[in-house]
Amino acid sequence: MRKRAWGGLHSCFRAGGWFLQSPDERAAPEQPCRALKVSSKRTRRKLSFQFQRWMSGIFMKQYLNFCRMRLRASRLGYLFLQLAALCFYAQNSTQSPPNFKQHVTEQSRLSDRMSRRLTRTYQLYSRTSGKHVQVLANRRVNANGDDGAAHAKLEVETDSFGSRVRIKGMKTGYYICMNKKGKLIGKRKGRGKDCIFTEIVLENNYTALQNAKYEGWYMAFTRKGRPRKASKTKQHQREAHFMKRLPRGHLLSERRPFDALPLPVPVQPFSKRTKHSHQLRSEGR
């Protein structure tokens, strides 16, 4: 085979020069590399194989470094993900202070079917008409009842602990309800929400009755005692103000008569002289 001389690797290129140098030349790397002459095909193959091996080693090192960096990044990402999940769980698991107002509002919207209902008997005095609310036999409701009238006596039942009541006329047995048009009517069975009213005590000590089904609609009467349309009523209006009053003579039978007791006579102690004269008088001397 024809021999070919390769040019000398003037720069110390370790890919080929280091493997072809003698042990003395390897021990002295500071000396410039000599011109190399490669005359055999086998040597060229060996050089090419060593160069490829060296390049593959560099590539594998870079690849391993890249994998290590990716692994470190993935571990850091996993740790950050765990930290975020822990913070989210701690934020949601922190117990907030109880909101009793919301609890009362939610529970007052439910009807209490299990507990024993408390009933009271009184009259509703209308601020505008100056008379009392009454339920008539024709299922009409007005505020023209006199004090102590039979139709003006109302039996009020508690529906829940949130000041929700049902109002029924004792004489007729009809419950005061409100239809979808805002008109007051009497019903035999007052189980629906349209027959439930919420008592609201105002600053002027009057009571406003708001319907449980139609929020913002109040029981109201005009000066002539006629029921007013509930959709046009407000809490601050005089037509929606009532006062609870006991019927005339309702508690007279329960009162006990007051008996005047005689005053006790004070006993004065006797002296010796007074005692002796008292004995003489008693003996008749």
* Together in a domain, 36 and 140: no
Domain tally, the chain? 2
**Which residue segment(s) compose the domain that 21 sits in?**
17-78
Measured distance CA(103)–CA(212) in Å, rounded: 17
Asked whether residue 113 falls in the same domain as residue 170, the answer is yes
- pLDDT tens track for 6-43: 444 344 444 444 444 445 555 555 444 444 444 455 56
Rounded average pLDDT over 88-94? 59
Q: Measuring CA to CA, how many Å separate 178 from each of 55, 119, 155, 195, 214? A: 93, 21, 17, 6, 9
Confidence of residue 276 (pLDDT cuts 50, 70, 90): low
Its pTM stands at 0.52
Based on the fold, state whether residues 45 and 114 are members of the same structural domain: no
- Which of 72-76, 183-187, 229-233 shows the lowest mean pLDDT across its residues? 72-76
Is the pLDDT at 108 greater than 70? The verdict is: no
**Do 114 and 50 belong together in one domain?**
no
**Looking at residue 197, which CATH number applies to its domain?**
2.80.10.50
What pLDDT sits at residue 248?
Answer: 78
Same domain, 55 and 145: no
Distance CA 143, CA 133 (A): 4
